[in-house]
């Protein structure tokens, strides 16, 4: 009897300890954007009550002046569309319009939104209401419709153009304007029964119109166009002075004025314009907080304003646009690098750079000075680092990322204008203008970058000079494949993978290369020693070699999701990450791969290990995970 009691006690103790003994270490979310959407418009009916709309049927609301933003309605909408514009006339009554002829209405501040019958599938791009009854919506193909009963019924108003009508603004039930493609400007004084053309003084598409009253207004659009009227009839061009980030003036997507003098305009690549003299002079905010398309702007007062845009961007100013706070922004991260256990950088699309100096506890934005895609990052020392990306980007910092400057010239196709980058020879000289998709430091002074149509370049002097390398001297055709992954173990031994299952290996620092072609598109490669390496790619592909690349074997993987990065911390323990939050783990060199619990459904793009053994993953929507 006593023995039975004793065994019962032991069994109870062991069972109670089981969760602790077998508890699995988990990936922890350090960062992730709260919203998975691009925002199209923002509107405040007063200083406290505001709304934001965007993709994925997103509607956000604040009742405390933007301190907090909450999704609406209480129950998710039963359809997924992009909402383009939102307008309220009181804190309770408002409308939102979007794709497929969608008009939503709320009478309770957005707790519930009802879809109204419009009898059209036209993409609606603009909306204007002057009271609870009279409203207008506009869209593709010269479309304008009108309601006299708050949206219960709608009637199309006919205009003599097929140009898309991008924006509409009424100041009374009778007086309004519409703007659109080809510099179209229309005016009505009878509620839209008849519309007359006005000369806009531009042929550029006008994407938005904002009337302060029945005489004063502005319209903005493609090519940095700004036109203004002081009498409601005649329009004159104003010089926007937008920068030319891609060789052409940035398009301006929206404009709003707090009074006759103070206005803000939102443009492409994170450009913000402001004026304090009614548009006679426009100045752009030089420090681009984000490089996303900014699509909606609303000024509550001459000092306070809001801007929203792609990648869940929300910006706020309380000093008339002199300074801006980033309330929200979803960085699409593509690569991460830690120089040591405390200093780390992550880079991604739209020129985004995030930096940590406390071991990843906090991440802060750095201004890369670039507005395009950034795909790779590495550091020579704590201060000197490099970033590669699209449009031939090669960025350098000498102060830990406080400032980044371009080393490259996108227009240099072997002409020698990029003094520190040399692509010599007819077969590769033009590749200097191509994108780089990945970077690897074999040593602090030896680094490699690979990319578009077989672009390969290296540095042997810590980034002071970069030299183009032809890896396909045998003309196998692999030299024109896009290259997505590179890993150098040291200054001599390295691997490159890419399109068409191409795998290239060098054991002499890139003087010679052995190339094989496979079948699946490979995204990343990692070698644990000179003989053993793994490659990962699309449709759940993982391959391994244990003989220095002479032969490769497929490994069985429990997913068909694209795998974007692979890492081994020992010959047995490895990780692979990919789309839809996929995390795979092996403890036997890949003989068996198992799905590992993931805290996100966002696409994961890169995985690295710091010197203290901490693992980091980065991905879409500012996803940063730690293990």
Domains, in order of start, for the chain? 37-116 (2.40.10.500), 199-329 (2.130.10.10), 525-627 (2.120.10.30)
pLDDT of 7 higher than 80: no
pLDDT value for 537: 97
At 24, the pLDDT band (50, 70, 90 cuts) reads: low
Note whether 266 and 252 are within 8 A (CB). Answer: yes
Decide: helix, strand or coil at residue 546.
coil
Share of the chain above pLDDT 90, in %: 85
CA dist list (Å): 454 to 26, 49, 223, 476: 38, 53, 34, 12
Average predicted confidence (pLDDT) for the chain: 93
pLDDT, residue 94, reads 98
- Mapped to the 3 state alphabet, what secondary structure does 265-303 carry? EEEHHHCEEEECCCCCCCEECCCCCCCCCEEEEEECCCC
- Residue 10, pLDDT > 90, answer no
Any idea of the CA torsion for 170, 175, 178, 183, to the nearest 10 degrees? Answer: -130
As a whole number of angstroms, the distance between CA 334 and CA 178 comes to 41
In this structure, what DSSP letter does residue 360 have? T
pLDDT mean over 361-389: 94
Read off the pLDDT band of 16 (50, 70, 90). very low
Among 39-43, 120-124, 195-199, 416-420, name the one with the lowest average pLDDT: 416-420
492: pLDDT strictly greater than 70: yes
Distance in Å from the first CA to the final CA of the chain: 48
The percent of residues in the chain predicted with pLDDT above 70, rounded, is 95
User: How far, in Å, CA of 134 to CA of 118, rounded?
Assistant: 15
Question: Which of 498, 508, 449 is closest to 477 using CA atoms?
Answer: 498
**CB neighbours (10 Å) of residue 600?**
20
The residue among 384, 378, 387 whose CA lies nearest residue 398 is: 384
Segment among 95-109, 271-285, 407-421 with least mean pLDDT:
407-421
Q: What is the mean pLDDT of residues 439-457?
A: 96
Token pair for 423: 């692509």
- b/e code 549-573 from CB counts within 10 Å (16+ = b): beebeebebebebbbbbbbbeeeee
CA atoms within 13 A on the CB side of 22: 6
pLDDT digits (tens, 9 = 90+) for 522-533: 999 999 999 999
b/e sequence 284-305, b meaning 16+ C-beta within 10 Å: bbeebbbbbbbbbbbbbebebb
529-571 pLDDT, tens digit each: 999 999 999 999 999 999 999 999 999 999 999 999 999 999 9
Peptide bond before 73: cis, by omega within 30 degrees of 0?
yes
Closest CA to 617 of 603, 602, 604: 604
For residue 301, give the nearest of 586, 46, 39, 42 by alpha carbon: 46
Is the pLDDT at 417 greater than 80, yes or no?
Answer: no
480 in Cβ contact with 453 (< 8 Å): yes
* Residue 326 pLDDT > 50: yes
Q: Tell me how far apart the alpha carbons of residues 566 and 500 are, in angstroms, rounded to a whole number.
A: 18
The rounded distance, in Å, linking the Cα atoms of 407 and 388 is: 10
Q: What is the pLDDT of residue 14?
A: 35
In whole angstroms, give the CA distance from residue 85 to residue 340: 46
pLDDT at site 419: 84
Angle at 516 between CA 515 and CA 519, to 5 degrees: 140
> In a 3-state reduction of DSSP, which class is residue 520?
coil
At residue 288 the predicted structure's pLDDT band, cuts being 50, 70 and 90, is confident
Identify any residues that bridge with 387 across adjacent strands, giving them in sequence order.
377, 395
Say if strands 436-441 and 421-422 run parallel, antiparallel, or are unpaired: unpaired
Q: Is the pLDDT of residue 11 over 70?
A: no
Cα 519-522-526 angle, rounded to 5 deg: 130
Mean pLDDT for the stretch of residues 503-514? 96
pLDDT higher than 60, residue 166: yes
What integer is the mean pLDDT of 498-506? 95
Buried b (16+ CB within 10 A) or exposed e, 10-36: eeeeeeeeeeeeeeeeebeebbbbebb
Q: Which residue has the tokens 């994170």?
A: 270
Residue 6 — very low, low, confident or very high, per pLDDT cuts 50/70/90? very low
Distance separating alpha carbons of residues 102 and 117, to the nearest angstrom: 8
**Angstrom distance (rounded) from CA 462 to CA 382:** 13
As a whole number, mean pLDDT of residues 482-487 equals: 98
Sequence-distant (≥ 6) Cβ neighbours of residue 98 within 8 angstroms: 40, 53, 81, 82, 83, 84, 85, 123, 124
- 58-68 tens-digit pLDDT: 999 999 999 99
Sheet holding 615-619, edge to edge: 28-31, 623-626, 615-619, 604-609
Count other C-beta atoms under 10 Å from residue 508's C-beta. Answer: 11
Residues in the chain: 627
Instruction: State yes or no: pLDDT of 478 exceeds 90.
Output: no
Does residue 413 carry a pLDDT above 70? Answer: no
Predicted pLDDT of residue 21: 35
pLDDT, tens digit (0-9, with 9 covering 90-100), for 328-340:
999 999 999 999 9
> Hey, how many other C-beta atoms are within 10 angstroms of the C-beta on 126?
25
Q: What residues contact 533, with CB distance under 8 A and at least 6 apart?
A: 487, 495, 525, 526, 527, 544, 545, 549
| CA pair distance 192, 155, nearest whole angstrom | 11
Mean pLDDT, rounded, for 164-190? 98
The DSSP bridge partners found for residue 306 are 298, 316
Q: What is the pLDDT of residues 85-117, one digit of tens each?
A: 999 999 999 999 999 999 999 999 999 999 999
Q: What is the pLDDT of residue 104?
A: 98
* pLDDT, position 506: 97
Query: What's the predicted TM-score (pTM) here?
Result: 0.85
Cβ atoms of 139 and 125 within 8 Å: the answer is yes
**φ, ψ for residue 34, nearest 5 deg:** -70, -30
Question: pLDDT-derived band of residue 416, with 50, 70 and 90 as boundaries?
Answer: low
Q: What was the pLDDT predicted at 287?
A: 78
Q: Shortest CA distance to 510 belongs to which of 456, 440, 453?
A: 456
Task: Write out pLDDT tens, residues 186-215.
Answer: 999 999 999 999 999 899 999 999 999 999
Q: Over the stretch 570-626, which tens digit does the pLDDT of each residue have?
A: 999 999 999 999 999 999 999 999 999 999 999 999 999 999 999 999 999 999 999
């Amino acid at each position: 009897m006593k023995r039975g009691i004793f065994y019962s006690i032991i069994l109870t103790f062991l069972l109670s300890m089981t969760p602790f003994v077998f508890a699995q270490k988990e990936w922890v979310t350090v960062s992730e954007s709260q919203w998975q959407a691009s925002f199209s418009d923002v509107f405040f009916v007063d200083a406290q009550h505001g709304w934001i709309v965007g993709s994925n049927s997103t509607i956000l609301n604040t009742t405390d002046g933007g301190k907090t933003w909450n999704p609406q309605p209480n129950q998710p909408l039963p359809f997924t569309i992009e909402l383009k514009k939102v307008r309220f006339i009181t804190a309770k009554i408002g409308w939102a319009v979007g794709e497929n002829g969608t008009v939503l209405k709320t009478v309770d501040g957005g707790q519930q939104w009802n879809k109204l019958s419009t009898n059209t599938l036209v993409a609606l791009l603009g909306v204007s209401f002057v009271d609870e009854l009279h409203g207008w919506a506009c869209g593709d193909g010269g479309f304008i419709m009108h309601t006299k009963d708050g949206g219960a019924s709608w009637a199309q108003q006919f205009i003599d153009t097929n140009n898309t009508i991008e924006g509409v603004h009424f100041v009374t039930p009778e007086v309004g304007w519409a703007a659109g493609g080809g510099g179209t400007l229309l005016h009505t004084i009878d509620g839209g029964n008849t519309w007359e053309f006005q000369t806009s003084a531009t042929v550029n598409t006008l994407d938005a119109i904002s009337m302060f009253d029945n005489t004063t207004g502005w319209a903005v659009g493609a090519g940095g166009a700004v036109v203004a009227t002081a009498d409601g009839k005649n329009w004159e061009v104003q010089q926007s002075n937008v920068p030319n980030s891609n060789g052409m003036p940035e398009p301006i997507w929206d404009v709003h004025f707090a009074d006759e003098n103070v206005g803000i305009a939102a443009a492409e690549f994170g450009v913000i314009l402001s004026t304090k003299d009614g548009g006679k002079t426009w100045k752009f905010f030089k420090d681009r907080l984000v490089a996303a398309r900014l699509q909606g702007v609303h000024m509550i007062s001459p000092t306070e304003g809001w801007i929203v845009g792609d990648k869940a961007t929300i910006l706020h100013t309380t000093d008339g646009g002199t300074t801006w706070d980033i309330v929200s922004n979803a960085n699409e991260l593509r690569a991460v690098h830690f120089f040591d256990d405390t200093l780390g950088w992550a880079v991604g699309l739209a020129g985004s750079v995030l930096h940590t100096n406390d071991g990843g506890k906090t991440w802060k934005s750095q201004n890369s000075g670039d507005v395009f895609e950034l795909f790779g990052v590495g550091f020579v020392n704590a201060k000197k680092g490099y970033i590669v990306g699209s449009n031939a980007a090669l960025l350098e910092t000498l102060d830990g990322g406080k400032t980044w400057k371009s080393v490259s010239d996108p227009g240099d196709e072997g002409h020698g204008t990029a003094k520190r980058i040399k692509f010599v020879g007819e077969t590769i000289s033009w590749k200097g203008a191509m994108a780089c998709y990945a970077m690897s430091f074999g040593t602090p002074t030896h680094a490699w970058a690979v990319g578009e149509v077989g672009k390969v370049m290296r540095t042997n002097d810590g980034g002071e000079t970069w030299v183009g390398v032809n890896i396909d001297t045998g003309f196998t055709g692999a030299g024109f494949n896009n290259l997505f992954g590179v890993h150098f173990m040291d200054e001599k031994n390295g691997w490159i993978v890419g399109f068409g299952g191409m795998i290239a290996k060098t054991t002499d620092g890139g003087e010679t290369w052995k190339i094989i072609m496979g079948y699946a598109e490979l995204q990343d490669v990692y070698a644990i020693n000179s003989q053993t390496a793994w490659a990962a790619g699309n449709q759940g592909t993982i391959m391994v070699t244990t003989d220095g690349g002479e032969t490769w074997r497929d490994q069985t993987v429990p997913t068909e999701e694209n795998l974007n990065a692979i890492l081994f911390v020992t010959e047995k323990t490895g990780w692979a990450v990919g789309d839809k939050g996929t995390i795979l783990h092996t403890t036997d060199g890949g003989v068996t791969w198992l799905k590992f619990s993931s805290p996100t459904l966002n696409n994961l793009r890169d995985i690295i290990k710091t010197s203290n053994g901490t693992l980091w993953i980065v991905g879409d929507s500012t996803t940063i995970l730690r293990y």
